[in-house]
């Protein structure tokens, strides 16, 4: 059974005396950050907060954010396809992964460390492992997609008297191509 940061709340990491545990805590290196490509290569045991801080040091942002950021690991986040506090805007963990490496039960290493947003060269191997909680293989490394750092936070307080009105406001407030009015 794989163990990352052990921050899950569904008791999926509880073990019995005869269970074998595979810990990723020593796979804790951020191998590379490329500000120009907006990518980061990390090992599975790196803490989410470390990834966020490393991205920020390069003027980037890694959008995945969880309350357990200081103790959860990227391998766990990816293997559970974590959503987090910014899921509505940036998507699930799978939307932030460009490539990954995993080890199968027989020791075979599957590597698809893609660095491109668009890659239609065959099967998207990373999708076989994201969200499968280690049942198909253990994620060991990943290429993460970072975003430009958000430097402003425009805020509005809107009073709404019905759920239907809320849906309309959210639809109108979606980001628009440059030069188009917001349309509220």
Q: pLDDT value at position 179?
A: 47
Tell me if the domain spanning 2-148 has CATH number 3.30.465.10: yes
To the nearest whole number, what is the mean pLDDT of the chain? 86
DSSP 8-state class, residue 73: B
Residue 122, judged by CB atoms within 10 A of its CB (0-12, 13-18, 19+), counts as exposed
- pLDDT above 60: residue 80: yes
CB 30, CB 50: distance < 8 Å: yes
Q: pLDDT value at position 4?
A: 63
Give pLDDT tens digits for 30-64: 999 999 999 999 999 999 999 999 999 999 999 99
**How far is residue 131's CA from residue 100's CA, in Å, rounded to a whole number?**
13
- pLDDT above 60: residue 155: yes
Proportion of the chain in helix, strand, coil states, percent, rounded to 5: 20, 20, 60
Question: Of 83-87, 111-115, 135-139, 176-180, which range is least confident?
Answer: 176-180
More confident residue, 46 or 67: 46
More confident residue, 56 or 158: 56
Domain map (residue ranges) of the chain: 2-148
- pLDDT above 50: residue 98: yes
- pLDDT above 80: residue 68: yes
Tokens 């349309």 sit at which residue? Answer: 183
Angle at 34 between CA 174 and CA 73, to 5 degrees: 75
Strand partners, 2: 22
Share of the chain above pLDDT 70, in %: 88
CA separation (Å) from 73 to 30, 89, 140, 165? 12, 22, 11, 39
Mean pLDDT for 149-169 is 83
Q: pLDDT value at position 166?
A: 87
pTM, full prediction: 0.76
- pLDDT above 80: residue 102: yes
Structure tokens given for 103: 């080890």
Q: pLDDT value at position 177?
A: 57
Reference 110, options 93, 130, 91; nearest CA is 130
In a 13 Å sphere around the CA of 69, the CA atoms on its Cβ side amount to 15
More confident residue, 68 or 141: 141
Does an H or E element contain 79, and which? helix 74-79
Structure tokens given for 47: 């803490």
């Amino acid at each position: 059974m794989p163990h990352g940061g052990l921050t899950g709340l569904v008791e999926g990491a509880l073990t019995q005396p005869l269970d074998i545990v595979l810990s990723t805590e020593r796979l804790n290196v951020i191998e590379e950050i490329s500000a120009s490509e907006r990518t980061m290569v990390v090992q599975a045991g790196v803490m989410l907060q470390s990834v966020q801080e490393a991205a920020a040091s390069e003027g980037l942002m890694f959008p995945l954010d969880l309350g357990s950021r200081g103790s959860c690991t990227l391998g766990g986040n990816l293997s559970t396809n974590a959503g987090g506090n910014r899921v509505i805007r940036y998507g699930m963990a799978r939307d932030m992964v460009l490539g990954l490496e995993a080890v199968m039960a027989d020791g075979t290493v599957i590597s698809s460390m893609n660095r491109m947003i668009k890659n239609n060269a065959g099967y998207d191997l990373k999708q076989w492992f994201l969200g499968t909680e280690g049942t198909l293989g253990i994620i060991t490394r990943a290429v993460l997609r970072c975003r430009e750092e958000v430097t402003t936070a425009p805020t509005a307080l809107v009073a709404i008297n019905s759920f239907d009105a809320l849906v309309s406001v959210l639809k109108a407030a979606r980001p628009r191509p440059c030069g188009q009015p917001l349309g509220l």
